[in-house]
Amino acid sequence: MDSRQASRRGCAASRGALLLSVLFLCTGNSARSILAEAYLNSAGQERFRAYSAGSHPTGKVNPFALELLAQRGIDTAGLRSKSWNEFALPGAPQIDLIFTVCDSAAAEVCPVWPGRPVTAHWGVDDPAAVQGSDDDKRKAFARAFRELSTRIDQLLTA
């Protein structure tokens, strides 16, 4: 086992599995990537450690995202909108998998990631862009969460 693997054994060590780091990228890092980070950390805590970031972070997590997560009993402590540059700095977590979750992020040039993680794109409509009533916005967030949690559940069973 190399030093990178040894440093990431964490709580998965008791099962003999490595703890994989996953980064969810979006443009604003206020909705979809936040939902994915929180859900994977809740559902995959023995196998995965999730993070999220944005190419142009809004600087705040969308309140509808926080509301949805709280209603589902998913911890929101520590969630914040942040730049993907944080994950390209020395000392940043070693990332194994990167998922872009919006079309804007998928079309942008990503920074070079140390260790060359596996990347994939999961296009999800932006619930933060929905105009209309609060009920319309809540429905959009619920749709995005359903789509992301379904994909994450498939990842967890792979």
pLDDT at 4 over 70: no
Cβ atoms of residues 79 and 61 within 8 Å: yes
Which one, of 87, 73, 68, lies nearest residue 22 by Cα? Answer: 87
Q: Active-site residue among 23, 26, 68, 152? A: 26
Look at residue 110 in the predicted model and tell me its pLDDT. Answer: 62
Tell me if residue 11 is catalytic: no
Amino acid at 141: F
Pairs from 136-140 (Cβ < 8 Å, separation ≥ 24) = 137/64, 138/64, 138/67, 138/68
Query: Model pTM?
Result: 0.85
* 9-153 CATH: 3.40.50.2300
Confidence of residue 33 (pLDDT cuts 50, 70, 90): very high
Is pLDDT of 148 > 50?
Answer: yes
Domain ranges of the chain: 9-153
What pLDDT, in 10s, does the model give residues 97-114? Answer: 999 998 765 565 665 666
Cα dihedral 115, 18, 81, 139, rounded to 10, equals: 120
* Residue tagged active-site, from 12, 92, 110, 142: 110
